[in-house]
Structure 1
Amino acid sequence: MSFISTLKKDIRVVFERDPAAKNIIEVLLCYPGLHAIWFYRLSHYFYCKKWVVLPRLISHLARFLTGIEIHPGAQIGPGLFIDHGSGIVIGETTIIGKNVTLYQGVTLGGTGKEKGKRHPTIGNNVVVACGAKVLGSFTVGDHAKIGAGSVVVKPVPAYATVVGIPGRVILIKGKKQEQVRDISPKMRELAEELDVDLSHDKLPDPELDMIKSLSQRISDLQTQLDNVKKELEASKKNA
């Protein structure tokens, strides 16, 4: 993809995923996520040319202007959309696939001082919701959704929904994890043709489900206990 085509794609993505975008002038002037991506593309160009200081200066300027920090060494595919974006941090060895969506406060970071690949690899069509932290060198599979405020420290399979601290896989392809054995190779081939699912507000609440289950179990046990008491009282009267 040529440089001009990449810029056009960046603009088109804003209109595709943000209903608030009204016209191209507004997008060009008022979308810090778009500005941050363009600053990154410039800094990444110099980074690939083995420059050291200039790429980092550009990234620092971008952070000052947009509130978004993207290391020049990160590898970002086409179609990245950063919504609002304040507080986003993307580490040096992060790899981001196609058509990824990041919301404000997201961190794609490392967990220590190890050398080499130390940041996550984000697959295609992934949505990472507000405040989520993805920490470590592992892969988040295609079409995964990371719930708001989650802290993910382990690999995430394709089509999975992750919530909680630490992040737990709750759903895969809209079904509970225990109901899913595997995703067919054909579904993986179709991944690129599917739309990005931005409904990151419709997430399960495993803690609430557990509380409801325990409450129901207690209610059942109480009913059984009441029945036993009635039987004992009846037997005493008949004795």
Structure 2
Amino acid sequence: MDMFENIRADLAAHKGDWGAQGFWAMVIYRFGRWRYTLRNRWLRMPFSLLYKIAFKWVQIMAGIELPCEVNVGRRFRIDHFGGIVVSGFASFGDDCVIRNGVTVGLRRTDEPAAPKIGNHVDIGAGAKVLGPITIGDHVTIGANAVVIDDVPDHAIAVGIPARIILRNPDDATKSVPPAAR
């Protein structure tokens, strides 16, 4: 997918709301990724400067830190701006949702490894997902949960530290809108 196709998909994920601060963060993120496609260093430099300014603007205005080094799938949605920090080492699959106060990052600064998050993952407000862990597909992470261990497909993670509740895979896919399956 090219940058504009991804931005159209991100806008649809944000229900067409151009004013959504999560959508602003996604536009800057997609632009930051796009600039790496420019092979000529001198051509890329002004776009890199523009990206760094726009990234800082979104960080200040929306409270969202989503560096372009993160691998993000399609239709990524950021609900409720503010206090969102994602490590550049993290990765997300398609159709993921994160909310305010979420941190996805390193468990220890001397270990530069962050979570690898699957498809159709819904991360509740205030959750912390930390360290070199894997979050499966169709997972729900509860509000304020602290996840420091792997979470299998079709599970729910709740509590501090998070405990894993397995659920029926049929129930998990019913909660996902048909367009996102």
2:121 aligns to what? 126
Q: Give the equivalent residue in structure 2 for 1:4.
A: 4
2:66 to 60, 63, 70: 70
Alignment of 1:194-209 (within 5 A): 194=173, 197=176
Return the match for 1:163 from 158, 162, 168. 158
Contact 2:118 2:136 in 1 (8 A): yes
**Following TM superposition, by how much is the alpha carbon of 1:64 offset from its aligned partner in structure 2, in angstroms?**
1.2
Which of 91, 94, 97 is the matching residue for 2:93? 97
Question: Aligned partner of 2:102: which letter?
Answer: V
Residue 143 of structure 1: which of 124, 138, 147 is its match? 138
SS in 2 for 1:7: helix
Q: Deviations over 1:163-183 (max 9, x none)?
A: 010111023337xxxxxxxxx
TM-score (norm 1): 0.64
Runs of 4+ with >6 A deviation? 50-53
8 Å CA contact 2:77, 2:98 repeated in 1: yes
- In structure 1, the gaps of 5 or more residues are 16-23, 175-186, 199-239
Conserved in 2, the CA contact under 8 Å of 1:56 and 1:72?
no
- Residue 196 of structure 1 deviates from its aligned partner by 5.4
Name the SS for the 1:158 alignment partner: coil
Sequence identity of aligned pairs in percent?
Answer: 32
Change (3 A) 1:90 1:166: same
The answer to whether the 8 A contact 2:3-2:34 is kept is no
Give the counterpart letter for 2:160 in structure 1. I
For structure 2, the 5+ residue unaligned runs are: none
Does the alignment pair 1:14 with 2:14? yes
Q: Is the 8 A contact 1:140 1:157 kept in 2?
A: yes
Q: Please give the alpha-carbon distance, in whole angstroms, between the structure 2 residues aligned to 1:153 and 1:115.
A: 14
Does the CA contact (< 8 Å) of 2:99 and 2:125 recur in 1?
yes
- Residue of structure 1 in register with 2:33 after alignment: 44
Contact 1:127/1:197, CA 8 A, preserved across alignment: no
- What is the distance in 1 between the residues matched to 2:10 and 2:110? 33
Helix, strand or coil at the partner of 2:22: helix
Q: 2:91 touches 2:115 (CA, 8 Å); kept in 1?
A: yes
Secondary structure, counterpart of 2:61 in structure 1: helix
In structure 2, how many angstroms separate the alpha carbons of the residues matched to 1:79 and 1:5? 10
Shift of 1:195: 6.0
Separation of aligned partners in 1, 2:122 and 2:116: 13
Q: CA deviation at 1:11?
A: 1.3
**1:143 CA drift (Å):** 0.4
Helix, strand or coil at the partner of 1:37: helix
Task: Report which structure shows greater RCO (CA 8 Å, sep ≥6).
Answer: 2
Offset, 1:2: 2.7
Which amino acid letter does the alignment assign opposite residue 164 of structure 2? V
Report if aligned partners of 2:7, 2:30 keep a CA contact under 8 Å in 1. Answer: no
